[in-house]
């Protein structure tokens, strides 16, 4: 099977405009277990899961919003050439130097319907370490975005960035990846423009229960799960941060093998080989009722 590599290899960070700022910042540091690595004069904080300069960026704002997504380009990518390619694809791209701490150079791209992307080849890695005694995820994993212009957004990911499509749920959700994980982004086709959820990987399934215990100790209820999804087969649990952003914690995500166009076989798969397919609108492998309206967020 002919495969070409995507231009990026991981989701690097998610930047949010935050209305309930102090509570949300404290939640991410004290309960979730990230470390504040940097703070700008306007109050923007840069939070690290454990290694990179930032995985989450929170900026004080009147209304909550998704500011931008950061994706790390493959090693050796030349930023000027990348910006030109984006322009040739028909989107606006601007190279920026020292526009944020931790990233000396990046290319900012205005995607469909105001979705802003920041692409960079290198990010500082101060490695503040992983906190113990908090939720303390392993890594930022994926983001689910609701878009008015899902088709255009999917085309950018698939046709320009080279993401592989790994599954669909009805006409509602598309799953795409640039790595071994089943999805790095899912795009929900609905007349809204917002982030649906942000997902972090945990160590293993026992970490799901430790995380849920840790969350409720700080008064944060788990709204769904841990339970297994259909597309991706991740064991997932969901809760809200204080600004009402939906946060997914996941383990056991399907491993996509691009050379074969399929996921590594697992005992709980409904069919073999687990190739990309259009699922019936059923999100839970165990038929547990899924508690979130994807089209509403
Ligand atoms: Fe997810």
pLDDT of residue 145: 96
Are the CB atoms for 182 and 258 separated by under 8 Å?
no
The pLDDT of 186-211, averaged and rounded, is 95
255-284 in b/e burial notation, b at 16+ Cβ within 10 A? bbebeeebbeeeeeeeeeebebeebeeebb
pLDDT of residue 1: 46
Beta pairing, strands 116-120 & 56-60: unpaired
250 alpha carbon – ligand 1 mean position (Å): 8
pLDDT of residue 291: 75
168 alpha carbon – ligand 1 mean position (Å): 13
Are the CB atoms for 21 and 64 separated by under 8 Å?
no
Instruction: Check pLDDT > 90 for residue 80.
Output: yes
Structural domains in the chain, sorted by start: 8-120 (3.10.180.10), 139-279 (3.10.180.10)
If you average pLDDT over every residue of the chain, what do you get? 95
Helix (H, G, I), strand (E, B) or coil at 115: coil
232 alpha carbon – ligand 1 mean position (Å): 9
The residues whose Cβ lies within 5 A of ligand 1, an ion, are 199, 248
Instruction: Check pLDDT > 50 for residue 125.
Output: yes
Are the CB atoms for 235 and 250 separated by under 8 Å?
yes
pLDDT class for 3, splitting at 50, 70, 90?
A: low
253 alpha carbon – ligand 1 mean position (Å): 10
pLDDT of residue 176: 98
């Amino acid at each position: 099977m002919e495969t070409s590599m995507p231009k990026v290899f991981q989701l690097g960070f998610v930047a949010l405009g935050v209305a309930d700022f102090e509570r949300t910042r404290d939640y991410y540091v004290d309960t979730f277990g990230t470390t504040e690595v940097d703070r700008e004069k306007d109050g923007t904080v840069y939070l690290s899961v454990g290694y990179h300069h930032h995985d989450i960026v929170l900026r004080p704002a009147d209304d909550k919003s998704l500011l931008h997504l950061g994706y790390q380009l493959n090693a050796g990518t030349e930023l000027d050439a990348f910006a030109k390619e984006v322009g040739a694809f028909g989107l606006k791209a601007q190279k920026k130097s020292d526009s944020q701490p931790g990233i000396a150079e990046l290319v900012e791209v205005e995607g469909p319907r105001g979705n802003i992307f920041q692409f960079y080849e290198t990010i500082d890695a101060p490695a503040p370490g992983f906190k113990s005694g908090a939720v303390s995820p392993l890594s930022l994993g994926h983001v689910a975005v609701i878009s008015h212009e899902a088709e255009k957004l999917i085309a950018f990911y698939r046709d320009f960035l080279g993401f592989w499509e790994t599954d669909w749920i009805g006409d509602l959700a598309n799953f795409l990846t640039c790595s071994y994980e089943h999805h790095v982004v899912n795009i929900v086709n609905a007349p809204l423009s917002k982030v649906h959820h942000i997902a972090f990987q945990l160590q293993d399934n026992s970490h799901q229960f430790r995380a849920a215990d840790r969350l409720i100790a700080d008064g944060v209820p788990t709204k769904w799960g841990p339970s297994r999804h259909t597309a991706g087969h991740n064991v997932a649990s969901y809760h809200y941060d204080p600004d009402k952003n939906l946060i997914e914690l996941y383990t056991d995500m399907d491993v996509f093998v691009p050379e074969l166009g399929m996921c590594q076989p697992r005992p709980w798969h409904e069919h073999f080989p687990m190739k990309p397919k259009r699922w019936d609108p059923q999100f839970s492998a165990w038929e547990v009722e899924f508690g979130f309206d994807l089209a509403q967020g």
